[in-house]
Amino acid sequence: KAGVTQTPRYLIKTRGQQVTLSCSPISGHRSVSWYQQTPGQGLQFLFEYFSETQRNKGNFPGRFSGRQFSNSRSEMNVSTLELGDSALYLCASSETTAEQFFGPGTRLTVL
């Protein structure tokens, strides 16, 4: 099976803009989770989607949102970008509530 894929891999935006990141899970996986990884904060949970429904949500402001489509592909959106949003955004898919498989990440730089 193909692994988790994320697009784009790199992104440069300016403050105030918005961005949409995409994640395609492993075939058959219905759960997709999103994480923000920064050097100072480690891996921070953003949200989890399962069968097109948000199942869990982390402690991020409302500027961060996501959705999942019927084919389990997921997108996350960040509006009104701030400098502090610069990070590696990782998605992970899982078949059950156990092992999560990570994608390569999208490196977002906000100038």
Partner 1 sequence: GENVEQHPSTLSVQEGDSAVIKCTYSDSASNYFPWYKQELGKRPQLIIDIRSNVGEKKDQRIAVTLNKTAKHFSLHITETQPEDSAVYFCALRNQGGKLIFGQGTELSVKP
Binding site for partner 1 (CB under 8 A): 33, 35, 42-45, 48, 55-56, 58, 90, 97-105
Report the nearest approach of partner 1 to the CB of residue 60 (Å). 13
Report the nearest approach of partner 1 to the CB of residue 82 (Å). 22
Report the nearest approach of partner 1 to the CB of residue 43 (Å). 4
Q: Given the complex with partner 1, which of 22 and 79 has the nearer CB atom?
A: 22
CA distance 44 to 14: 22
Q: Given the complex with partner 1, which of 81 and 108 has the nearer CB atom?
A: 108
Q: In degrees rounded to 5, what are phi and psi of residue 77?
A: -125, 135
